[in-house]
Amino acid sequence: MKVTIDGIEIDVPKGTTILQAARMIGKKVAPPAMCYYSKLKTTGGYCRTCIVKVTKASAQNPNPIPKPVASCRTEVADGMEVQNFTSQEVIEARKGVVEFLLINHPLDCPICDQAGECKLQDLGYEHGSAKTRYEFKRREYEMIDIGDKIKLHMNRCILCYRCVKLCDQLTDKRVHGVIHRGDAAEISTYIKNVIDNDFSGNVIDVCPVGALTDRTFRFKQRVWFTKPVDAKRNCDKCSGKVRLWLKGEEVLRVTARMDEWGEVEDFICNACRFEKKRKSDWTIEGPSKIDRHSVISQNHYEHLNELKVKAMKQQKALGFMPFDKRP
Amino acid sequence: MGRKLLLAHENVPGIDRLDVYRAHGGYASVEKALKSMKPEDVVEEVKKSGLRGRGGAGFPTGLKWSFLAKPEGVPRYLVCNADESEPGTFKDRYLMEKIPHSLIEGMIVSSYALGSNTSYIYIRGEYFYVSRILEKAIQEAYEAGWLGKNILGTDYSLDLYVQVGAGAYICGEETALIESLEGKRGNPRIKPPFPAVAGLWGCPTVVNNVETIAAVAPIINMGGEEYAKIGIGKSTGTKLISASGHINKPGVYEIELGLPVEEFIYSDQYCGGIRNGKKLKAVVAGGSSVPILPADLILKTAKGEPRLMTYESLFDGGFQSGTMLGSGGFIVMDEDTSIVKNLWNFTRFYHHESCGQCSPCREGTGWMEKILHKFLEGTANLSDIDLLWDIQSKIEGKTICPLGDAAAWPVASAIRHFKQEFEEIAKSKKFKDVSHYERLHKPAMA
Amino acid sequence: MGAQIHGTLEFNAEKRKDIRFSEEALKEIEKIKSRYPQGKQKSALIPVLHIAQAENDGWLSPEVMDYVASLLNIQPIEVFEVASFYTMFNLKPVGKCVIEVCRTSSCWLLGAEDIIKYIEKKLGIKEGQTTPDGMFTLKTVECLGSCGTAPVMQVGASYHENLTFEKVDKILDKYRAEGRRRNYTDLDYENTK
Ligand SMILES: Cc1cc2nc3c(=O)[nH]c(=O)nc-3n(C[C@H](O)[C@H](O)[C@H](O)COP(=O)(O)O)c2cc1C
Ligand code: SF4
Ligand code: FES
Ligand code: FES
C-alpha cells in the first residue's frame, strides 16, 4: 500500500497505521506520540498529540477526511495522502493539545526526576506555544509510594494509560488503574497497595512523564550527570539486556534500553531493575547510543553553564514559574 | 397533520399491560414479520421507510442494519440505547413508562431482522423504576410466548434482558454503552472497529435508540413506503419531541416531521406559547448538545423561510445560522434568560460528564467552565470571549467521541449569536441574574 | 463521587471476612450472571454493585467492593475503577435518604438553584453533606430525564417532579417520619408528579 506523508511516499503492508508509516519514513515526518506504545497492544488514541490531516482518504475515495485523525490508531489505505508538519491546521491543533496537556501539569521540572528525559518536556518545547493562558489553580495530589520500588506523582500524569495496559498485558494481577473520571480521573491503587510482581517495574520506563519513578534510583541525580552504558547479564526471567546509569563506578539506576522513539527495546524484570545495583553484576557492552536530539544527549556533553541556560529557556517556553514562586 | 404512531394509545388506561396493549393492535408486527417475512425483508422495509436514528445523530437505520457483519458461528447482538441522558430529553422514559410493550415489540422484530437471539435494553440507572416496568412487561411477554424459545411456533428464539447503568451521560455514546454493558467504565472506544463489526464482547452489534426501535413496529405494520409518506424529504415519519423550559405546556409530543417550529411553540396543541406572556428569546432544539438559536433564527431560516421540524430545515444555514434536530430535546428560553449563565450550566454538565480519556475533552471542558464562571462572578475580561472561542475550536473534532463536539457547539453558538451579552458583562464587570423560580412562583423563602 | 482518595485508603481485612450478602441478594446476583454468555460474568458488575450498595447501607466500602470482585471472579481494582466512574455509587457513607436534585438545563431554568438552597437551609447541610441524624444526604445531579416537569429530584427509586418549596417540605417530612432507607433497587417507588 502506498501512502504519502508530507509529500514523501512509502510502501507499507496492509494494517500499518499512519504513525507507523511515518516512523518508517523517519523523524522528519513522524508525529509526536505520548500515549501510543508500539510494544503494547491497544495503546494510543488518548492524548491526541499525533493527530494529522488526511487530505485524500484513498485512491478510490479521493476526498479528505474532514476531521483530523489520531495517526496512531488510523490504518493507511492505498493512495492515502497525509499532512503532518506541512499542515498549518495540524500544527495549530497540536499546539492546542499540548496546551491542554500542560494546563494541569505542575511544571515542576526543576525538581522532577524525569527532567531531561520527559516526553512532555520535549513535546512542549517542540510543539507547544510560548506561554500558557491558563490562570486557574492546577489539580493537585499528594505524592505517594506504591510499595518500596515505585513512586507515584499523580500531578504529573497525563493519563496515557500505558502503565495500565502494561500491567494488564505483562502481569497477571493488576492492582492499579484509572479511578474517577473526567479531569478528576487519576492513576491509583484506590486502597493502599503495592505494585509488585516480576515485570511491574516496566511501568517506570513506559511512563512518558515523571509520574511513575524509581524509588531505588540512588543519590537522585539529574540524568544528564550520569553516564548511560548498555549492559547484560544472564537472567532467567528476561533478556537481561539493560541500560545502566553510572556515576563513576556506581550503578545509580537500571532501565530498559530505549530505541530511537523512546520506547523500550525489551521489557526487563524487576530483579534486573531493582536488585542488581553493582557494576560487577553486569557485563558492560559499551556506551549507550543516545539520540543526538534528545535533551539527555544534548545536555550530557555540554558545559554545565550552557545546560542551565538551555533548561531555563525551555522552562520559559513552557510558561514555567520558578518552582519556589508558584502559588 | 398530527398522526400518531407511537403514542396513539398513550391515554388508554392499562396500556402498560399486555392484554390491553394487545387489544389495541399490539404485537401485530411480530406476527407479520415472523410468519410472513424473512429477516432481510424486514431490513428492506426499514430501509424503504427512511427511518433515521432517533438517538441524536439521525443516521438511516436500515443502512446501519445492513452494515452488520454476519460471520459464521458468531452471535450478533441488538442493544437498545435507553440511556437517555441528553439534557432536555425525556421522551424515551415517557414511552417506556407508558407503553413498555411498544419497545418490546420493536425489539422482537428488530432482533429478528438482525438475527440476534439475545438482546439487551441498557437503561440509565436513574430510571431504575422504569426498568421494573420493563421487566414486568418482559415477563408478561415471555408468558404469552412473544419471547423465549420458538416464538409463535417458528424457529426464531429470543431472550431479552434489561441492564441498568449507574449515572454517566457518556454511556449514551454507543461504544461507551457497550463497555458499560460489559461491566467496565463508560469509556468510548476508539473506532474503527465499529460495533457493526466488533461490538458487545467483540461480536457484531447494533445499538439503536428506544424510539428508533419502537418505530419499527408501525413500519412493519403499515409498510415502509406508507411510513415514508409521512414527513418531508429525508425526514420521514413521526418524532417524539421533549418540550421543556419556559413554555405553557411542557411535555412529550409526537409530531409529524415537517411541522413548522412556530406552530410547535405557539399552538395550543403543543407547547402553547411562552409562559407568563413573556417573549421568546432562544431555543435549544435538539438537546443541550446542539447549537442554540435566537428567536428569529429558530422561527425562520437566515433566508427568511419558515423553519420546520425536520433534520434538514433545522440544519439550514449550517453552523452559522442553523442547528440540529438531535434527540428532539426542545428547550425554550424566555426573554429574561441569561444566555451566559445557561451556557455555564451546560458547560458544567459536559465538564462533569467527560470520561477523561482524551486530553482535549478532559482538560478543555473544565477550562471553559472556569472561564464562564468568571462571567458569573463579574471578573471576566473581553479577552476571555476570544479565549473561550479558541478553546472550543481546539476541542471540536479532536476528541475520541462526539462529546467534545457536544461541549464545543453550545459555546460556539452562544458566542456567535449572543456575543453582546458576554461583552456587556466583561465591560461592566457585573452579572445580573433573575432567579426564575422566585420570579415564577414567588414562594416565601424561609 | 467521593473526594480524591488517591490510593491511601486502609483496607480492613477483618471487616472483609464478615461480609456476606443476604440469600435474596445472592440469588438475584446469580440470576443476573445468567444473562450473559459463558465467561462474560464481569458484565454483571454494575447491576451487582447496585445490589451491593443496597446491602451495605447505601454505599460501597473497599471491603464490600472486594467481596463483589470475588463474586464475579475479577480483580478488586476492576471494581474500584468502575464504582468510582459512576455517580450513583457512593464511596462514602450516606444518610438513609439520598436526595438528588437535578441541576441541569431545564431544571436550572425553572429554579433548581433555589430548590437546592432551600433544602440546604431546611436541613442545615451543604450539598454533599449528611444530616447529623444520618437521615438525609444532599447531592446535586445532572439531568434526570424529567425536564418537562422541572424542577425535579430523585430519592432512591422515586422521582419527585414539579417541585415547589411546599412540595419539598411535604416529601422530606414524610421520609423523615417513615425513617427508612431508600435504595435505587426498591420495588416500592412512589413517584410524585
Ligand atoms: C455523548 C453522547 C451521548 C449520547 N447519548 C445518547 C442517548 O442517551 N441515547 C441515545 O439513544 N443515543 C445517544 N447517543 C447516540 C448514540 O451514540 C448512538 O448514535 C445511538 O444510540 C444510535 O441509535 P439510533 O441510530 O437509533 O439513534 C449519544 C452520543 C454521544 C456522543
Ligand atoms: S502514570 Fe505515567 S504511564 Fe501511567 S497513565 Fe500516567 S503518564 Fe501514563
Ligand atoms: S499517540 Fe496517538 S493519540 Fe496519543
Ligand atoms: S434538566 Fe432536570 S430533569 Fe432534565
- Report yes or no: C25 at the B interface, CB cutoff 8 Å: no
Which residues of chain C make contact with A191, given a CB cutoff of 8 A? Answer: 7, 9-11, 62, 76, 80
Among chain A residues, CA nearest to C4: A184
- In the numeric block, which cell numbers belong to residue A153? 506523582
The H or E element containing residue B41 is helix B39-49
Q: Which atom of ligand 1 is nearest to the CA of B86?
A: 8
Query: Cα–Cα distance between A272 and A266 in angstroms, integer?
Result: 12
Ligand 4 pocket by C-beta < 6 Å: which residues? Answer: B 87; C 102, 104-107, 143-147, 150, 152
How high is the pLDDT of residue A300? 40
User: How far is A45 from chain B, CA to nearest CA, in Å?
Assistant: 7
- In this structure, the number of other CB atoms found within 10 A of the CB of residue B213 comes to 28
A158 Cβ closer than 6 Å to some ligand 2 atom: yes
Q: What is the pLDDT of residue A179?
A: 96
CA distance A88 to A98: 15
CB of B224 within 8 A of CB of B214? no
Nearest-ligand number for the alpha carbon of B289: 1
Three-class SS state of A280: helix
Best of B77, B95, B98, B128 to disrupt the C interface (most C CBs within 10 Å) is B128
Mean pLDDT, to the nearest integer, of B207-218? 98
Which residue of B363, B373, B383 to mutate against A (max A Cβ within 10 Å)?
Answer: B363
pLDDT at B24: 97
pLDDT digits (tens, 9 = 90+) for A151-186: 999 999 999 999 999 999 998 899 999 999 999 999
Alpha helices, DSSP H, located in B144-206: 174-181
The helix/strand/coil state of A308 is helix
Lowest mean pLDDT of A131-140, B202-211, C63-72, name the range: A131-140
- What is the three-class DSSP state of A9? strand
Q: What share of residues in chain B are helix, strand, coil (percent, to 5)?
A: 50, 15, 35
CB contact under 8 A, B87 and C146: no
d(CA A10, CA A29): 12
* Amino acid present at C76: P
Q: Which three cell numbers stand for residue B26?
A: 399490539
Give the pLDDT of residue A321: 41
Q: Please list, in sequence order, all residues whose beta carbon lies within 8 angstroms of the beta carbon of residue B187, skipping any fewer than 6 positions away.
A: B170, B176, B179, B355, B357
* B411, HSE (Cβ side, Cα atoms, 13 Å): 33
The secondary structure of A218-263 as a DSSP string is TT---GGGSEEEEEE---SSS--EEEEEEETTEEEEEEE-B-TTS-
Instruction: Determine the pLDDT at residue A107.
Output: 81
In sequence order, the 6+-apart residues with CB closer than 8 A to the CB of B269 are B2
DSSP B37: -
| A180/C75 CB distance under 8 A | no
DSSP A275: I
Name residues whose C-beta falls within 8 Å of residue C156's C-beta, 6 or more positions apart in sequence: C97, C98, C182, C183, C184, C186, C189
CA A118 to chain centre: 6
Show Cβ contacts of residue C38 under 8 Å, excluding neighbours closer than 6 positions: none
* Ligand closest to the CA atom of residue A185: 2
Chain A residue closest to B355 (CA)? Answer: A182
A52-56 long-range contacts (CB < 8 A, ≥24 apart) are A52/A5, A52/A18, A52/A22, A52/A82, A52/A83, A52/A84, A52/A87, A52/A90, A53/A82, A53/A83, A53/A84, A53/A87, A53/A89, A53/A90, A54/A18, A54/A80, A54/A81, A54/A82, A55/A81, A55/A82, A55/A83, A56/A80, A56/A81
**Residue of C4, C139, C142, C172 to mutate, testing the B interface (most B Cβ within 10 Å of its Cβ):** C142
Between B and C, how many CB-CB pairs are < 8 A? 188
Query: What integer is the mean pLDDT of C9-23?
Result: 95
Give CA separation, B41 vs A112, B48, B114, in Å.
65, 10, 11
Chain A residues touching B202 at Cβ < 8 A: none
Nearest Cα neighbor of B231 from B242, B243, B221, B219 is B219
Run of H or E residues at C118 = helix C112-123
Ligand nearest to the CA of B354: 1
Q: β-strands A2-5, A80-83: how paired? A: parallel
- Ligand 4 centroid, distance to C190 Cα (angstroms): 19
Of all ligands present, the nearest one to the C-alpha of C151 is 4
Query: What's the rounded mean pLDDT across residues C118-139?
Result: 97
Rounded to a whole number, what is the distance in Å from the CA of B11 to chain A's nearest CA? 42
Radius of gyration, alpha carbons of chain A:
20
**Region of residue B317 (phi > 0: left; psi between -120 and 50: alpha; otherwise: beta):** left
Taken in order of first residue, the domains within chain A and their CATH numbers are 2-100 (3.10.20.740), 104-130+138-214 (3.30.70.20), 223-302 (no CATH)
Of B166, B244, B441, the CB nearest to C106: B244
- Which ligand 1 atom sits nearest the alpha carbon of residue B84? 8
Out of B167, B185, B436, whose CB is closest to C81?
B185
Ligand 1 pocket, residues with Cβ under 6 angstroms: B 53-57, 59, 61, 81, 83-86, 170, 172-174, 207-209, 212, 401-403, 406
CB pairs under 8 A between A and B: 89
User: With b meaning 16 or more CB within 10 Å and e meaning fewer, what string describes C7-31?
Assistant: bebebeeeebeebebeeebeebbee
Statement: residue B109 has pLDDT above 80:
yes
Q: Are B410 and B289 in contact (CB under 8 A)?
A: yes
Could A154 and C62 be called an inter-chain contact, meaning their C-beta atoms sit closer than 8 Å?
no
B171 alpha carbon – ligand 1 mean position (Å): 9
**A212 CB within 6 A, ligand 2:** yes
Rounded Cα–Cα distance for residues A205 and A257 (Å): 9
- For residue A254, the model assigns a pLDDT of 95
State which residue of chain C sits closest to A140, comparing Cα positions: C4
Contacts of A177 (CB under 8 A, 6+ apart): A164, A187, A188, A190, C77, C78, C80, C81
| Residue A139 C-beta-side C-alpha neighbours within 13 Å | 26
Other C-beta atoms closer than 10 Å to the C-beta of B95 total 24
- Ligand 4 centroid–CA B344 distance in Å is 15
Task: Provide the grid cell at B106.
Answer: 420493536
Tell whether the torsion through CA atoms of A7, A13, A18 and A21 is positive or negative.
Answer: negative
Q: State which residue of chain B sits closest to C146, comparing Cα positions.
A: B90
**A142 contacts C1? CB cut-off 8 A:** no
Pick the closest to residue A106 from A287, A315, A255, A268 (CA basis). A315
Task: Look at phi and psi of residue C55 and say left if phi exceeds 0, alpha if psi is from -120 to 50, else beta.
Answer: alpha
Lowest mean pLDDT among A119-133, B211-225, B264-278: A119-133
pLDDT value for A288: 87
Residue to substitute in A20, A35, A101 for testing ligand 3 pocket (most ligand atoms within 8 angstroms of CB): A35
What confidence score (pLDDT) does residue A221 get?
62
pLDDT for res A297: 47
CB B259 within 8 A of CB B286: no
Helix (H, G, I), strand (E, B) or coil at B118: strand
Query: How far is Cα B320 from Cα C171, in angstroms, rounded to an integer?
Result: 46
Residue nearest to atom 13 of ligand 1 (CA): B172
Q: Is residue A251 in contact with ligand 2, taking CB distance under 6 Å?
A: no
How far apart CA B323 and CA B307 sit, in angstroms, is: 11
> Which chain B residues are closer than 8 Å to C190 by Cβ?
none
Nearest to A176 among C4, C62, C77 (CB): C77
Cβ of residue C128 closer than 8 Å to a chain A Cβ:
no
Query: Which element (helix H / strand E) includes B162?
Result: strand B159-164
Q: How far apart are CA A180 and CA C1, in angstroms?
A: 8
Ligand 1 atom closest to B176 (CA): 17
Residue of B nearest to A133 (CA): B387
* Residue A97 Cβ contacting ligand 3 at under 6 Å: no
Q: What is the DSSP letter of B186?
A: -
Contact: B354, A183; criterion CB under 8 Å = yes
Quickly tell me which residue has 451566559 as its cell: B340
Average predicted confidence (pLDDT) for chain C: 95
Count of all residues that appear for chain B in the document: 446
* Chain segment B291-339, per-residue pLDDT in tens: 999 999 999 999 999 999 999 999 999 999 999 999 999 999 999 999 9
| Interacting residues of C114 by C-beta distance below 8 A, sequence separation 6+ | B435, B437, B438, B443, B445
pLDDT value for A316:
52
What ipTM score was computed for the predicted complex, to two decimals?
0.96
Q: How many residues does chain A have?
A: 327
Chain A interface mutation, best of C1, C6, C61, highest count of A Cβ atoms under 10 Å:
C6
Q: Angle, nearest 10°, between helix axes B403-428 and B359-377?
A: 20
CB neighbour list of residue A120: distance below 8 Å, 6 or more residues apart? A34, A101, A102, A105, A156, A158, A208, A209
The predicted pLDDT at position A305 comes to: 42
pTM of structure: 0.94
Q: What is the pLDDT of residues C142-191, one digit of tens each?
A: 999 999 999 999 999 999 999 999 999 999 999 999 999 999 999 999 99
**Residue A227 confidence (pLDDT):** 86
Q: How far is B114 from chain C (nearest CA, A)?
A: 19
Cα of B334 vs centre of ligand 4, distance in Å, is: 17
The grid cell for A126 is 517542540
**pLDDT 10s per residue in chain A (327 long)?**
999 999 999 999 999 999 999 999 999 999 999 999 999 999 999 999 999 999 999 999 999 999 999 999 999 999 999 999 999 999 999 999 999 999 999 888 878 878 778 899 889 888 887 677 999 999 889 889 998 999 999 999 999 999 999 999 998 899 999 999 999 999 999 999 988 889 999 999 999 999 999 998 866 666 677 889 999 999 999 999 999 999 888 899 999 999 999 999 999 999 999 999 999 999 999 998 776 455 454 444 344 344 445 555 555 555 444 333 333
Return the pLDDT at A311. 52
In whole angstroms, what is the distance from residue B190 CA to residue C145 CA? 28
- State yes or no: pLDDT of B438 exceeds 50: no
pLDDT of residue B297: 98
Q: What pLDDT is recorded for position C79?
A: 98
